[in-house]
Structure 1
Amino acid sequence: MPQRVFDKFVAQYSGNKYVRHFTCLNQWLYMTFGQLTNRDSLHYLIVIIDAHKNKVYHLGFGKSLTRSNLSKPNEKRNYRICKDFAY
């Protein structure tokens, strides 16, 4: 999937406004990984990512992840970024 298309939707909805570290792309990568590996909750997603911590950085996920790092953006960021990117 082309990142430039995703970045277009992020800019359209100001998804990375006031964001320092955990960008929309990081959030999308984590949530997509959770869907593809069939994780039932954020807790199990965090557990599997911590188990493969040395590979996560090289995949482009970012440095660290906690449940609050993932749950807060899921609540506050515009869902239309991912919806439009999926279409």
Structure 2
Amino acid sequence: MNRVVPAFKLMDEARALADTLLARGPVALRAAKRAILEGASLPFDEAMNLELQLFNSVMRTQDAVEGPRAFAEKRAPNYQGR
């Protein structure tokens, strides 16, 4: 949890967060989710090793090239999930 909102704003805030996540690279999001879910139950050193492995795999994708390229070109990224 990173914020508290009144009940009447909850769905709007949830949708805004969902929209933000949907705009991110799917490969990186999958890796982050895996790191969080699996890493939480691992000893610290193993969790860090898992994160390093996931990071290295994400950085070898087309999406890892697309994000910085889109930023440099001042446009929205077109992630392909590859």
Using structure 2 for the length normalisation, give the TM-score. 0.32
Which of the pair has the greater relative contact order for Cα pairs under 8 Å at 6+ separation?
Answer: 1
From the CA coordinates, give the structure whose radius of gyration is larger. 2
Higher relative helix content: 2
